[in-house]
């Protein structure tokens, strides 16, 4: 009898483990084959070899890029060097990336580990760059003022808050106001891999302003990219491991209510929004296993989706670029400027293509 019980319990355990494993493999999209989709003319950006994990393009064609992320469990080609912020002028014929000088005595450069970036331009055309930073694997939000004349960033402020424990990405709605995704899995230099495996939807979205900080959406299986519609009425959130993009309505009091969700067959990472058309451009990981377990013989693929008319009943979704990792490894973000597409990656290069 006892033996039978042990066997039953063992059997149940194994069945649960099998279910858990198959759900994990599904969340990671572990076995997807890539059908390549090429673009006509693509060049690598000179000066980007160790990641271009997030980027934002201003309406005037200046692009800000974060490079050199160190994130537990994810490959880095320069693990001992601090990260940096790069600037590109996309109006130039063959644009190159230039490192922005950071000034201000309040900022610790050696521990700089930039992650998501977002800009806010005020009425006087002052550009603020808000950067998710992980100094010593903690989370802070750094606020910089962009000084175009000498291509520098003046450090204004470091924001820390208990509701911002492990921020992945932000979208700025003011010089010190933003929505942030907490991904939950990255704490103190380790990836909570068991929790990642179990897939409890821990992750959430926080609204931050100097006078009020509040959770505005929760229950995500790894909330990742976040962005806002050009009219400021909708917030888009990428749920990486559920392969979904959620559309939320934003209210005057900054709370969000869910409107709709779109489902994909790929891990959706960063979302950028075309300021003119409102289209979403999404950097994706077709196979999540390859991004979390790097193997140079079998590198992670890259994929870019364009989503048009997201608010209508029939959004149009197009795979604009797909590569099995031979050319570009681990794309996370893509953004357009004047008929060209700039694609960033977690730890690899950046590709600039004609559409």
Ligand X SMILES: *[C@@H]1O[C@H](CO)[C@@H](O)[C@H](O)[C@H]1NC(C)=O
What are the residues binding ligand X (CB under 6 A)? 36, 53-54, 115-116, 168-169, 224-225, 251, 253, 255, 269-270, 298, 324, 326, 332-333, 346
- Of 103 and 244, nearer to ligand X (C-beta) is 244
Is 270 within any annotated ligand binding site? yes
Instruction: Please say if 115 is a catalytic residue.
Output: yes
Is 54 within any annotated ligand binding site? yes
Identify the sign of the CA torsion 122, 127, 132, 133.
Answer: negative
- Nearest distance, CB of residue 266 and ligand X, angstroms: 13
- Nearest distance, CB of residue 326 and ligand X, angstroms: 4
Q: Are 153 and 103 in contact (CB under 8 A)?
A: yes
Is 287 within any annotated ligand binding site? no
As a whole number of angstroms, the distance between CA 102 and CA 149 comes to: 14
Is 269 within any annotated ligand binding site? yes
As a whole number of angstroms, the distance between CA 350 and CA 8 comes to: 53
Q: Which alpha helices (DSSP H) does the chain contain, by range?
A: 2-27, 193-198, 288-292
- Nearest distance, CB of residue 85 and ligand X, angstroms: 14
As a whole number of angstroms, the distance between CA 195 and CA 184 comes to: 9
As a whole number of angstroms, the distance between CA 243 and CA 27 comes to: 8
- Of 153 and 226, nearer to ligand X (C-beta) is 226
- Nearest distance, CB of residue 129 and ligand X, angstroms: 13
**Rounded to 5 degrees, what angle do the CA atoms 55, 59, 60 make?**
100
Is 298 within any annotated ligand binding site? no
- Of 203 and 332, nearer to ligand X (C-beta) is 332
- Of 12 and 189, nearer to ligand X (C-beta) is 189
Given the residues 115, 155, 243, 348, select the one marked as catalytic: 115
Encoding tokens for residue 106? 């309040």
The separation between the first and the last C-alpha atoms of the chain, rounded to the nearest angstrom, is 69
* Binding-site entries: 53-54, 168-169, 224, 269-270
Catalytic residues: 115
* Binding-site entries for Ca(2+): 53-54, 168-169, 224, 269-270
């Amino acid at each position: 009898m006892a033996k039978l019980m042990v066997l039953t319990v063992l059997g149940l355990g194994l069945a649960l483990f099998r279910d858990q494993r198959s759900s994990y493999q599904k969340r990671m999209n572990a076995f997807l084959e890539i059908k390549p989709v090429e673009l006509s003319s693509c060049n690598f950006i000179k000066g980007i070899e160790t990641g271009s994990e997030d980027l934002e393009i201003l309406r005037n064609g200046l692009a800000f890029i974060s490079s050199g992320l160190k994130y537990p469990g994810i490959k880095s080609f320069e693990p001992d060097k601090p990260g940096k912020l790069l600037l590109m002028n996309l109006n130039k014929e063959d644009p190159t990336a230039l490192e922005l000088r950071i000034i201000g005595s309040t900022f610790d450069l050696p521990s700089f580990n930039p992650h998501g970036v977002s800009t806010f331009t005020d009425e006087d055309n002052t550009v603020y760059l808000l950067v998710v930073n992980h100094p010593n694997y903690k989370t802070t939000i750094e606020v910089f003022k962009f000084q175009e004349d000498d291509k520098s960033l003046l450090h204004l402020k470091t924001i820390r808050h208990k509701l911002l424990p492990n921020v992945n990405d932000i979208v700025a709605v003011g010089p010190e106001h933003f929505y942030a995704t907490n991904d939950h899995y990255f704490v103190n230099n380790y990836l909570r891999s068991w929790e990642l495996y179990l897939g409890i939807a821990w992750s959430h979205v926080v609204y931050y302003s100097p006078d009020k900080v509040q959770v505005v959406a929760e229950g995500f299986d790894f909330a990742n990219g976040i962005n806002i519609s050009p009219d400021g009425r909708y917030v888009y959130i990428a749920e990486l491991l559920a392969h979904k993009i959620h559309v939320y309505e934003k209210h005057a009091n900054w709370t969000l209510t869910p409107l709709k969700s779109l489902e994909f067959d790929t891990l959706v990472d960063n979302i950028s929004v075309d300021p003119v058309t409102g289209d979403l451009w999404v950097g994706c990981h077709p196979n999540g296993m390859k991004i979390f377990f790097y193997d140079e013989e079998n590198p992670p693929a890259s994929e870019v989706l364009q989503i048009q008319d997201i608010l209508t009943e029939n959004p149009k979704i197009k795979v604009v670029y797909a590569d099995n990792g031979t050319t570009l490894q681990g794309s996370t973000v893509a953004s357009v400027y004047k008929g060209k597409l700039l694609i960033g990656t977690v730890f690899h290069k950046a590709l600039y293509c004609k559409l």
